[in-house]
Every structure is written in structure tokens, then in C-alpha cells.
Structure 1
């Protein structure tokens, strides 16, 4: 592969499901749960790239270099989900770098294992095939919180994508796992030319003509706008272990737990409590006689939610945003 490999980190979101740690003034990519911020960890694992870019929104741009001092910063004109963001970034990086291959990653994943091998393989496949390449994760459970990729013809290092599937119910998720589907982790490799070629046939076409014309497009994910429409999608199975740190139950999975199954970050006292997560910044938290619970105290806010319903935190955030209290 002769083209330079440019890593692109998406860091423009807020992270509503990690409320109250994540707020409008403190997005989840800047959160530190003990090993450096999520953004700093992401950039650190991208050391194999020739260049690293971070794409963010204007409100967060000044803080990026506190977490990623060596990265170049791109500021998207308006937050409109991953579709407009990735097309904009591809156009701008092509202007600044020239011909290259992009490896695009979110800023909030937990990854262990040989990440570089998978990323470099995905980049190589993107160059050789001129396809849009996604990284697929082999499921460890029938998760309902992720989208799934159905692989098609196997080409060795990669497979064609037969279809993408939205987040399923529990029964469907079990069926997907049995059929060998992969989790869609939101990690992609492509050349800017390939992405802009395919985006030019979608509702994102105005951005291909003028990357700054965000008024001409609606918010849409790259999966729905481009990947689900193209016949040029490939999937590279990952060789690393992965979790999406978008929810509190995900954090509970990666933290060391005590003998009762509890994971604690901060000053807390637990009595007759099992399989729970307690996270606090400054306040002391006491928890007595509960199980399978998430308890989070940040600033002047406290969240209590059953572990199995951690995805529903976004419902609280929606109400707070409507009231101007997020």
C-alpha cells in the first residue's frame, strides 16, 4: 500500500447515555475513567498512522489539543451526524494531504489486542478494492444495542457485505449471532475518492459539490446515507476485543469488579450490594441493599437506573435538553 494512511477520529458528539458525567460542556470523549481521556486513548492507539486528524464541533475545538497534542483538528460546520461529518472530512483531508486512505474511528471505544493489524488490513483492502470498508466485530453475546453486518462472499482478508441490519430485539440478535453476523462498530476505511464517489449518488451529494454546504443536507448517519445504499461495501473481521463505551453498563463490563460483582470509581461505600456500578467525582455515595444498579453522581446531578435499562438514560437527557437543563 503506497498511499499515506490518515487516521480520522470522530469527536463531535456529546455522549448522552453517559449522563451526568457527560454534559453539554463536558462531552464523553474528554471523560477520564482512570487511564486518560477516551479521546487520548483513541489517539494513542493510532500511532501506526502517518497522520492523525480529529473532527469535532466548534464548541470543543479549543480543548482537543489538551488530549491529542499532535493531531490536526478539523471543525465541522454543523453537527449533523456521521454522514455529513465524514463526507466533509474526506473532502478537506484530500485537499490538505492529497491522495491517501482514511481509517475512521469514534473516540469512545474500549479496545484490547492487535488493533493496528486490523486497521492496516482494512486500509489495504480499501486501497486494493476501491470499496468502502467497515470493520466487523465477532459478537460475544446477542447484543441488542448494536447494528449487525451480514457477510457475503469471503475473499480471505475481507468479505463482501450482503446487508446491514439495524439494532435487533433479543430474539433476532440471537439469530444473528448464530448465523455468523458481525457487530457494526462504526469503524471504516476508504480513500476520499471512493467515499465521495459513492456519496455523490445519495442525499449527501450536495456536500460532494460543496463540503461547506451543510444547509443542503439533513442529519443522517453514514450507514443509512451511503453504506446501506452502495454495492461497493466490504467488511474486515477484527482481531481485537472491543466494547463501545457509550453506556454505563458498557463501562461496568470493562472495569475490575469486587467479589460481589460491583465496580466502583470514586468515594463510595457499598453494603449488601451486588453486580452494581457506582461512579462519583467528588461526592461520597453510599449504596445499601441493592443489585444490578447504576448509581452515578457528577457535579450537582445524580443518576440511578437498573443496569439492564442503561440505554434509557437518553430519555432523561431528552427531557433535560427540552428544558434547557443539560
Structure 2
């Protein structure tokens, strides 16, 4: 089996590549410019030399068509495109082009090259807007509240349209928040964990956050890439909510992360209204029942496990940095 992962350098792409290699796949990965991309996450997982890397601009149809026609994969995982809700307010055109237009380019290329190729589209819980405490399932209407969410909703409907119109095996995973040590610090969970680790190591910094009175359904990224793979193994394509089914306040996430390091977050954290988004979701929670029933998938990590794993890795990174400083 041969798999093409678009956006292989990100958190999900790297974990997915590791999973597929373990299953015996030949893995091909793309980024906008593979010659200069560092692929740090692949290096951290020890798999960079085990995958083939190529350049591809997902918003350029010719580029997408050339890569798919050249490599003829059995499965394509579209994880490329803008990944930040906050950034999408500043760069809405880039969000639409890299997510919606990029997905359309992938689907059209598959239709031209080989309609038997199975396609995974990375959806997002942001499409739902505020879910309330009940948890959103696949039948809940979308109410996107950011350019990122609008783009993801468009990509979802494009994927569904090509599945229904052309018979493509094209599925969307509507993934709720999922984290890991591979997250960069521009994501709030990693920002919190790394700051707490530095403060515990002696830093005098203050952690500045935006709105902490929000609730999110946080899971573990390696769990979620397993769900992606399972979707493409089904006889019939479909759309699936991937979530833990539980939500946690961001304030509680902060508290637990600082407690891990023996700290009281009140002493080290400030909120800044300049960091608030133009619009935000109060409560986000998913209902993964369909994934459990049809994919035999469920989250192995809940939020406390995620926090512990991220904090433990942050400790190791701080120790590694200290050792490097001592050597120099």
C-alpha cells in the first residue's frame, strides 16, 4: 500500500506517517517546499529517512495533479492548509485558498487520475460553532464563526459532493481539538505547558492568555490519526466525528498544567483582551458514537492524560536545553 500525506510536517501528518510505516505502507509526504522545510516533527519521531518527501502547492491544481499522477497512491490524506483559527482572521484569503481550494484541487485530481484512490479530508469541530454541553454528532448543522471554520465547512461539503456525485471513496473526519508534544507554541495548550515548564525551571516570565472561560474537547493526536486510517479502511466512505466526548475549561487546563509542576497558576498567568478573538466559541464538545460503532474507535487519552504527557515531554525538553547550554 502506498499513501500520500499532504502536510506531512505537521503534528497530525507526522504521527500519521509513523502509524502507516508501522503498518507496512510506503509513505510519501508533501510540503510547499520540501527542499527547505525542516520536518522537525519527523526527525523527533525518528522517521524522516523512512519517508519520501516532495514539494507540492495544494492551491495550485497543476502541482497537485502532477504529484498524484506521478506517484499513484492508494490513499491520500489531506492534512495541508492553514491550521490556526486565530490566524484566519488576519489571513482569511489564505485560509480559503489553502483549505477549500486545496481540497477541491485534490478531489479533481483524484477524479482525473484514478477515482479508486481513497481520500481523507481533515475536517474541524470549528464548523459547528458553539455545541453546548450535549456534544455534536454528524447530523448537527454547521454554524462556522471564523474564516478558518468557513473554509473547513466548504471543504466538508466539497468532499461530500464528490463522494455522492462521482462515487469517490472520500471521507471527512470532523476532529475536535487534539494535542501532543509536537504542537508548536502558537497553539494555546503547548503555550501553557511550555511556559509552566520554564517557570518551574526558574523563569520569571508571566504567561499571557486570552479568553480562558471557554470549554474544549481535548484529545490525543496519535489516537486521532488512527481514526483517520480506519475511515479509509471502510467499505463505504462517510463522515465521522472524532472526539473524547468530554469538555474541559481552558482555565482548568491551565490549573492542571501548573499543578503538574507544583505551581499555582494565579501567580504566573495574566489575561489580555488584546489576545481575544473577534468571535469565539464558548463550548465545544463532540459525540463520537458513530466512530465507536462503525470504526471500533474510541479515545484512549482524556484531557488529564494529555496534560500529563505534554508536561512530561516539556520537562525532558527543558533538561535537554539546559544540557546544551552547559556544553556551550
Pair in the same fold by TM > 0.5: no
Structure with the bigger percentage of helix: 2
